[in-house]
């Protein structure tokens, strides 16, 4: 079996992105380099043949997804459920966690100016954030970070895909670095 | 021409109307007031903005307590800054301290993350335009422990027939206040019924009266007797007939 077909079979059957290491387990003679070559081959092939789907790089791995231009077609089908969108408070909280991780609830609430326990819980339930440790200071507050599912939800390859803070229109001046200490306080 | 104007231009900002429910919190509201009026964030007209903020949160008591607290805390901060603006303080090096500095920092920080959230939303939208094969929403399993897992049409039809066979209660408007149903009487009745046979179906205990109140009190009576270890109550499956069993003396 050609390596590209093996990789294709596994990617086709998987509902989540698979990393090079995970894909390499599919065949005895596969290693990560061979997987990458196989993925490149598949991509070129799908591209050449104008397939409705492609191999996309998501969350540190690859995933077969339909191409965006077919969205209007798929949206017509009730049997193809749409990915549920996040609310504004959820996105705001997630943005803070993404940029400031590991971050405590106190810091998130200080930045947003509102209680955020409920939103954090929802994000945890949806496996978009997780507890990644405990901070210093009173009560050793829980610190949150983003998950692999977070990357999947937004189609990011890694957290590097987030726009860098200095690329955002509102650039933070000094004190940016002090944030960490705020978060470590009380919980 | 001039007197035709409904209000003097400088009073216009007081009438600035916002719908508080739209805002996630005090910073959101404050940012809205500043950005929508082209106010320089580094030179916030504190008196005007404070006035507008207070006007906007007048309806705050209709929100839940935690939210109200958050808005009121910000109102207090604004009022304090407003007061400090009247009496500028100087630091040790003789520099004038702007009492608004900390608020401006917080607002910019908040706005910064809102921008970041906007980017996330755009990425989410873009990702939602691509589908995986047989994508299924991940959702927490609902607690379905006790509900019947499967049912057939004959069971549903049976239930419908049972309902249809039952005498309908008169509509509430025409009901006379009947004798209250007493639970101790019902308990005696259940025990009396169990003298004659080892077990009795719950429906049979209720059918002579047929009203909902009798059914409720009968059920309570059965449960109370079960609690006192005088009867056993059994049901083979959810919504199946309910049987009340006599409890033998040796069972304790």
- Listing DSSP states for chain B in one string gives -GGGSSS-GGGGGGG----GGG-SSHHHHHHHHHHTTT--GGG--HHHHHHHHHHHGGGGGGS-HHHHHHHHHHHHHHHHHHHHHHS--B-TTSPBP-TTHHHHHHHHHHHHHHHHHHHHHHHHHHHTTS--TT-----PPP--TTS-S---HHHHHHHHHHHHHSPPPPPGGG----PPPPHHHHHHHHHHHHHHSSEEEHHHHHTTT--HHHHHHHHHHHHHHHHTTSEEEEESSTTSPEEEEE--GGG-
| pLDDT (mean) for A136-155 | 90
The mean pLDDT of B242-248, rounded to a whole number, is 84
Confidence of residue A66 (pLDDT cuts 50, 70, 90): very high
What confidence tens digit (pLDDT) does each residue in B106-126 have? 999 999 999 999 999 999 998
At A92, which helix (H) or strand (E)? Answer: helix A88-100
| Element holding A180 (H helix, E strand) | helix A179-184
pLDDT tier, B142 (very low <50, low <70, confident <90, very high otherwise): low
Q: A65 vs chain B: nearest CA distance in angstroms?
A: 5
Return the residue matching tokens 């969350």: A59
Cβ-defined contact of A71 to B130 (cutoff 8 Å): yes
User: Could you tell me if B35 lies within 8 Å of chain A, comparing CB atoms?
Assistant: no
Nearest to B132 among A63, A92, A115 (CB): A63
- Contacts of B89 by beta carbon, 8 Å cutoff, 6+ apart: B96, B97, B99
CA A74, CA A65: separation in Å to the nearest integer?
Answer: 12
Phi, psi at residue B95, to the nearest 5°?
Answer: -80, 145
Query: Which are the contacts of B44, defined by CB distance < 8 A and separation ≥ 6?
Result: B34, B100, B103, B104
Q: What is the pLDDT of residue B141?
A: 52
Q: Please list, in sequence order, all residues whose beta carbon lies within 8 angstroms of the beta carbon of residue B230, skipping any fewer than 6 positions away.
A: B191, B247
Asked if residues B64 and B72 have their Cβ atoms less than 8 Å apart, the reply is no
Task: Answer yes or no: is pLDDT of B210 > 90.
Answer: no
Provide, as residue numbers in chain B, all residues whose Cβ is less than 8 Å from the Cβ of A164: none
What pLDDT does residue B204 have? 85
Per-residue pLDDT tens digits for A94-125: 999 999 989 999 999 999 999 999 999 999 99
Can you give the pLDDT at residue A178? 41
Average pLDDT over chain B, rounded to an integer: 77
Give the span between the Cα atoms of A123 and A37, in whole angstroms. 36
Tell me how far apart the alpha carbons of residues A44 and A39 are, in angstroms, rounded to a whole number. Answer: 9
Rounded mean pLDDT, A38-52: 95
> How far, in Å, CA of B2 to CA of B13, rounded?
18
Using pLDDT thresholds of 50, 70 and 90, give the confidence band for residue A145. Answer: very high
Lowest-confidence segment of B9-13, B177-181, B195-199 by average pLDDT: B9-13
Q: Residue B244 above 60 pLDDT?
A: yes
| Confidence (pLDDT) at B63 | 57
Averaged pLDDT, B208-231: 84
Length of chain A: 187
Instruction: Give the B window 7-26 contacts with A, CB below 8 Å.
Output: 24-26
pLDDT at position A179, please?
Answer: 41
**pLDDT at position B167, please?**
60
Handedness of CA A88, A94, A100, A106 (dihedral sign): positive
Question: What tokens were used for B121?
Answer: 């939303």
Average pLDDT over residues B10-39: 75
Q: CA dist A118 to A139, A144, B103, B122, Å?
A: 19, 14, 25, 24
Q: Does A98 touch chain B (CB under 8 A)?
A: yes
What is the pLDDT, as a whole number, of residue A40?
95
A111, B110 contact by CB (below 8 A): yes
For residues B169 and A44, the model is more confident at A44
From chain A, the residues in CB contact with B111 under 8 A are 170
Angle of helix B65-86 relative to helix B101-127, nearest 10 degrees?
Answer: 140
What average pLDDT does range B45-50 have in this prediction? 91
The interface residues of chain B toward chain A in range 87-126, judged by CB-CB distance below 8 A, are: 105-106, 108-117, 119-121, 123-126
User: Does residue B205 contact residue B193 with C-beta atoms inside 8 Å?
Assistant: yes
pLDDT category of residue A135 using cuts at 50, 70 and 90: confident
Q: Is the pLDDT of residue A177 over 50?
A: no
* pLDDT for the residue A165: 75
**pLDDT beyond 60 at B8:** no
At residue B252 the predicted structure's pLDDT band, cuts being 50, 70 and 90, is very low
Residue B143 has pLDDT above 70, yes or no: no
Average pLDDT over residues B6-14: 44
Could you report the per-residue pLDDT of B147-178, keeping only the tens digit for each? 555 667 777 777 777 777 766 555 555 555 55
**Per-residue DSSP letter, A138:** T
Cβ of A99: how many Cβ atoms within 10 Å?
A: 21
* Residue B179: per-residue pLDDT: 64
Helix (H/G/I), strand (E/B), else coil: A173: coil
Q: What does pLDDT average to over chain A?
A: 85
Which helix or strand (DSSP H or E) is residue A9 part of? helix A3-13
Express as a percent the part of chain B with pLDDT over 70. 72
Q: What is the pLDDT of residue A151?
A: 94
The rounded Cα A114 to chain-centroid distance in angstroms is 25
Is the pLDDT assigned to residue B21 strictly greater than 80? no
Residue among A12, A94, A153 whose CB faces B127 most closely? A153
For the cut 60, the answer to whether the pLDDT of residue B59 exceeds it is yes
Cβ–Cβ gap B135/A156 under 8 Å = no
Ranking B20-24, B139-143, B205-209 by mean pLDDT, the lowest is B139-143
* pLDDT (0 to 100) of residue B226: 87
Confidence of residue B64 (pLDDT cuts 50, 70, 90): low
Q: Residue B250 pLDDT > 60, yes or no?
A: no
- The residue with tokens 């789907």 is A53
Res. A180: pLDDT tops 50? no
Minimum mean pLDDT range among A43-57, A105-119, A170-184: A170-184
CA distances A153 to A5, A21, B252, Å, are 27, 21, 60
């Amino acid at each position: 079996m050609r390596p590209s077909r093996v990789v294709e079979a596994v990617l086709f059957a998987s509902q989540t992105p698979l990393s090079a290491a995970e894909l390499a387990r599919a065949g005895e003679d596969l290693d990560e380099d061979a997987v990458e070559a196989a993925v490149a081959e598949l991509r070129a092939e799908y591209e050449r043949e104008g397939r409705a789907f492609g191999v996309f790089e998501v969350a540190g791995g690859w995933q077969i997804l339909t191409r965006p231009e077919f969205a209007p077609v798929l949206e017509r089908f009730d049997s193809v459920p749409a990915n549920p969108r996040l609310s504004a408070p959820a996105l705001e909280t997630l943005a803070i966690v993404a940029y400031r991780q590991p971050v405590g609830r106190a810091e998130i609430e200080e930045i947003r100016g509102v209680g955020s326990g409920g939103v954090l819980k929802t994000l945890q339930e949806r496996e978009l954030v997780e507890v990644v440790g405990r901070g210093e200071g009173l009560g050793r507050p829980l610190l949150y970070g983003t998950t692999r599912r977070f990357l999947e939800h937004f189609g990011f390859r890694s957290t590097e895909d987030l726009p860098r803070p200095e690329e955002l229109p509102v650039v933070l001046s000094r004190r940016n670095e002090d944030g960490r200490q705020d978060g470590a306080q009380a919980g | 021409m001039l007197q035709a104007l409904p209000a003097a231009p400088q009073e216009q900002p007081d009438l600035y109307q916002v719908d508080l429910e739209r805002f996630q919190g005090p910073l959101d509201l404050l940012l809205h007031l500043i950005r929508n009026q082209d106010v320089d964030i580094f030179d916030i007209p504190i008196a005007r903005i404070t006035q507008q903020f207070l006007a906007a949160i007048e309806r705050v008591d209709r929100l839940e307590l935690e939210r109200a607290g958050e808005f009121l805390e910000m109102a207090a901060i604004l009022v304090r800054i407003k007061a400090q603006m009247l009496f500028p303080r100087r630091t040790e090096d003789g520099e004038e301290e702007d009492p608004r500095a900390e608020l401006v920092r917080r607002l910019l920080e908040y706005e910064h993350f809102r921008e970041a959230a906007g980017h996330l939303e755009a990425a989410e939208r873009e990702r939602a335009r691509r589908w995986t094969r047989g994508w299924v929403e991940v959702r927490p399993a609902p607690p379905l422990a006790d509900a019947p897992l499967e049912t057939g049409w004959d069971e549903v039809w049976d239930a419908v027939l049972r309902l249809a066979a039952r005498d309908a209660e008169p509509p509430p408007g025409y009901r006379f206040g009947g004798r209250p149903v007493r639970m101790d009487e019902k308990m005696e009745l259940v025990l009396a019924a169990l003298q004659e046979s080892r077990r009795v179906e719950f429906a049979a205990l209720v059918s002579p009266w047929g009203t909902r109140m009798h059914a409720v009190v009968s059920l309570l009576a059965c449960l109370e007797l079960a609690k006192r270890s005088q009867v056993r109550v059994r049901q083979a499956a959810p919504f199946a007939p309910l049987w009340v069993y006599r409890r033998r003396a040796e069972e304790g």
